[in-house]
Amino acid sequence: MKGHVTELPDFPVYLSLGSNIGNRLYYLQSAVEKLKSHPKIQIQCTSHIYETDPLYIKNQGDYLNCVVQIRTDLQCKILLEEVQKIEEELGRIRNNVRFAPRTIDIDIIFYGNQIINQENLQVPHKRYSERRFVLVPLNEIAPELVCPKTHKYVNQMLAICQDNSTVRLYKDQKETGFE
């Protein structure tokens, strides 16, 4: 790919994307396109898009969610800064309300097998295993990925997940460009 890195680390990075304001599909597609066009990021695989019930604050619109596997030579902290720039470009407004509706949310779920515990960065993502909206699309593309903290496979984490919220394939996958 023109302008993209040629030597990438040998480990995958997994990002979870979600949107529940405005044209949700547009925001997911735009975020993926911005990731694709980044010179230091290569998308390896993208899950289908799923429509999900809001998990924590119930009186808001349903989400569209997906998981993207990438390779990058960006350090994890720099990757976080880059995905936050994408969120900002797509109208994400950060406020002090946790789990508030958003145009786009991009979380780093796994960064290879690294465990990172910094003030604004926890990898693996500290709540991924509690969230079917992350685990279902992640299980679609990486069921045998092993969590470096729990040493369990993603499919095992999904099987024991206590979250019983609805996660369903989004209507027409051809419309999404994610099939």
pLDDT at 6: 54
pLDDT tens digits along 130-142: 999 999 999 999 9
Instruction: List the domains of the chain with CATH numbers.
Output: 13-174 (3.30.70.560)
> Rounded to 10 degrees, what is the CA torsion of 88, 90, 96, 101?
-170
Which residues fall within 8 angstroms of residue 178, CB to CB, at 6 or more apart? 32, 46, 47, 48, 49, 66
Q: Determine which one of 105, 131, 132, 163 is catalytic.
A: 105
Name residue 107's amino acid. D
Q: Which residue among 24, 71, 102, 132 is the active-site one?
A: 102
- pLDDT value of position 33: 96
Model confidence, pTM:
0.89
Q: Is position 53 annotated as part of the catalytic site? A: no
Q: What pLDDT, on the 0 to 100 scale, is given for residue 1?
A: 41
**Active-site residue (options: 53, 62, 98, 107):** 107
The torsion of the CA quartet 52, 23, 57, 54, rounded to 10 degrees, works out to 0
User: Residues 92, 131, 132, 163: which is the catalytic one?
Assistant: 92
- Residue 75's identity, in one-letter code, is Q
The pLDDT assigned to 171 comes to 83
**Catalytic residue check, 105:** yes
Instruction: Note the pLDDT of residue 101.
Output: 78
Give pLDDT < 50 ranges for the chain.
Answer: 1-3, 5
Angle at alpha carbon of residue 85, lines to 30 and 16, rounded to 5°: 60
